[in-house]
Amino acid sequence: MDDSAPWKTEETIVGLSQLPVLSGASRFGGCHLFSTDPDDAELHFRKAVLHRKAGRPAEAEACWRRILTLKGPDRFCSVDQDIYGHLTLRNLALLAEQRGDQAEARRLWKMVLDACPGDAEAMARGEAAQ
């Protein structure tokens, strides 16, 4: 069993508590949130969500793109393994749509469909991006 959940919760709370006083990605990236494991995809995902909610889509995108460079764990863990694939790709596709990059949105929605054939959201949004 993965015993990382308690410290991840604590690390995320620390990151959340620091969010209002942070002025940029470099300070946010350097906060206590990543002191334990800089290659932890779950923490990168959570950091991306915090950036998106704080109105920093470029920083969120950088975090989600970082996840796609990481290798998933070889053993059982508490992390939803889909964050290494379609969950992250969906978020990137939505960001591409928001900034008006239809070609990138189509490419990302196609990747979601490759991972989840027949996915209704990916089919609808991918076609809407055309």
pLDDT (tens digit, 9 = 90+) per residue, 17-26? 444 433 343 4
pLDDT (tens digit, 9 = 90+) per residue, 70-91? 987 766 555 677 899 999 999 9
Distant-in-sequence, close-in-space partners of 61: CB < 8 Å, separation ≥ 6: 48, 92, 95
- Minimal CA–CA distance to 126: which of 87, 83, 96? 96
Q: What is the C-alpha to C-alpha distance for residues 118 and 5, in angstroms, rounded to an integer?
A: 32
Residue type, position 128, single letter: A
Going from the C-alpha of 14 to that of each of 17, 35, 37, 65, the distances in angstroms are: 5, 11, 15, 23
pLDDT at 17: 43
